[in-house]
Structure 1
Amino acid sequence: MSVSSSPEAHASCASPVWVESMGGPLIVVPVSALEAWRGCTETGVMVGDATAPDDYDRACAVDGPAGVIAVGENGAQALVLADEPATSCFLPEHRAFLRWLAADSEAGLKAAAGAVLADPATEWEKCGTWSSDGPATLMDSAEAGSALDTEYPGGGKPSQASVALAAGRWSVRATHTKADEETWVGLVQMLPIES
């Protein structure tokens, strides 16, 4: 038996951290660009009376199950898990985000996701290319990256999960698959693009 010391191998042994949204899309922002992600602001279109979209407005505008948008002005990109605000986690061993569309249990959902990922007949939708410089954070797109560690007035902090990811260019694909009558699996997977 071999032992791997990679962050992805260690992360796959632990139970995943599930992230919920307040109703909008979840987003994966590189740690290096978190400070540049402003989220939902009073100067945006959704909350304010502005005509220029804020970061949250841009995340909400992503069409399809996933897409990539710019973060800040330094060329960073974020991956938007769009289509619906499903509670999601990162499965590092598959470089995939698992979206809880419908399931009786986490174990059942993860087992169904494993079967979908292993099935060569699974139909995938292409969702573009994402470039990332390494580790990222899965979070609610309405939150500002700078406020993730700030406690809410009523207690608690914004929902977030670390995403152990190597720097690289990724081809993004997504699927929503009915595994059985009770289990619907949503996946957004990143496949490395060779340079």
Structure 2
Amino acid sequence: MDGLAGVIPIDENGAQALVLADEPATSCYLPEHRAFLRWLAAGTEAGLKAAADAVLADPATAWEECGTWVSDGPAVLMDSTEAGSDLGIEYPDGGMPAEASVPLPAGRWRVRATHTKVGEENRVGLVQLLPAEF
């Protein structure tokens, strides 16, 4: 995947997946901002979240446009090395694939992303979903 995020087809019926690209990073979804937060560098979770809030509030933030994602509703944040069909199924050696629910309404979303350094310690990755015009 070129860029910080992108949309790929996942079946012949037109279903799509949003891919958070570039580098492996612990990620979570911030529903109040409709954004995925990627932990690139930070001393603490609180510092990372504060840096993300600052980036999202700054109108001068440089965003990369990453396409349009059509979603039929709630999604799942998962590691791209897992097969979606394996979610919720225990591994033979024990344990479960990591996944997190993303409470997203059905819609057409403009995807934008940034990797931004905030202060000396924090580097945040954000992939934000904005309602797309038809």
Q: What range is the shorter-chain TM-score in?
A: over 0.9
Question: Would you say 1:116 and 2:55 are equivalent positions?
Answer: yes
Structure 2 unaligned blocks of 5 or more: none
Of the three residues 61, 73, 76, the one matched with 2:12 is: 73
Greater share of residues in helix? 1
Q: Max radius of gyration: which structure?
A: 1
Count of residue pairs brought into register by the alignment: 134
Q: Could you tell me which amino acid in structure 2 is paired with residue 191 of structure 1? A: L
Indicate the residue corresponding to 1:10 in structure 2: none
Structure 1 unaligned blocks of 5 or more: 1-61
Pairs within 5 Å for 1:88-127: 88-127=27-66
Following the alignment from structure 1 to structure 2, what is the Cα–Cα distance between the partners of residues 102 and 180?
A: 11
**1:16-60 CA distance string (max 9 Å, x none):** xxxxxxxxxxxxxxxxxxxxxxxxxxxxxxxxxxxxxxxxxxxxx
TM-score under structure 2 normalisation? 0.96
TM-score under structure 1 normalisation? 0.67
Cα offset, 1:72, TM superposition:
1.2
Question: Would you say 1:142 and 2:103 are equivalent positions?
Answer: no
Q: Could you tell me which amino acid in structure 1 is paired with residue 110 of structure 2? A: S
RMSD, aligned CA: 0.9
**1:96-154 CA distance string (max 9 Å, x none):** 00000001111110011001000001110111111111110010112111211111223
- Sequence identity (%): 77
Following the alignment from structure 1 to structure 2, what is the Cα–Cα distance between the partners of residues 143 and 176?
A: 25
Greater share of residues in strand? 2
